[in-house]
Amino acid sequence: MTPETKGILQALREARRLLLITVLDATDAQLTERSTVSGLTLGGILNHLTRAELVWTHILTGAPGTPDGMWDTGQYQAPAGATATALRKAYEQAAGATDEAAVRTAPDQEVPLPETPWEPGVVRHWPVRRVLLHLLQETAQHTGHADIVREAIDGANSTARR
């Protein structure tokens, strides 16, 4: 693993840790509670970020085809019957798989992105570095969303809980 990859993964792991602090002790009922005018919920955010980790791991490992559920807008909702424990565990497992894939590749290695529905036949390539930075950005952004959602539910927030 290069020092650059190590540094990016450290930042990504910190963003993940803050997300897990934000959802710490959230009840199953709180996972689906809409506490703001947004449709985002704690369970939906966890589900989406789990899906993001799985999608980017698929891409980092060079698996063929479009990752399952990549274009599914339902990923922004908690799956029916999901528990807080199960969602956190799935997220941690998906994040671990991403980390494993990242340490086996060089930051400059180009990986093909799946075709998008709006540009059929066009395959773009991103360096691993950009994939990891994109995932870091996505995680940090949604961790902030989760913090607002959680604080509106019961006053808990990741800054105070660190």
**Residues above pLDDT 90, as percent of the chain:** 75
For 43, other C-beta atoms within 10 Å of its C-beta total 26
Is the separation of the CB atoms in 18 and 158 below 8 Å?
yes
Dihedral, 5, 90, 37, 144 alpha carbons, nearest 10: -30
In the block, which residue shows the tokens 């390539």? 125
The model's pTM is 0.93
Q: Which tens digit of pLDDT belongs to each residue from 36-84?
A: 888 899 999 999 999 999 999 999 998 888 888 888 888 899 999 999 9
Does 162 score more than 80 pLDDT? no
pLDDT, the chain, mean: 92
Coil/strand/helix, residue 119: strand
Name the token pair of 30: 């709180």
Coil/strand/helix, residue 133: helix
Backbone angles phi, psi at 45, to 5 degrees: -65, -45
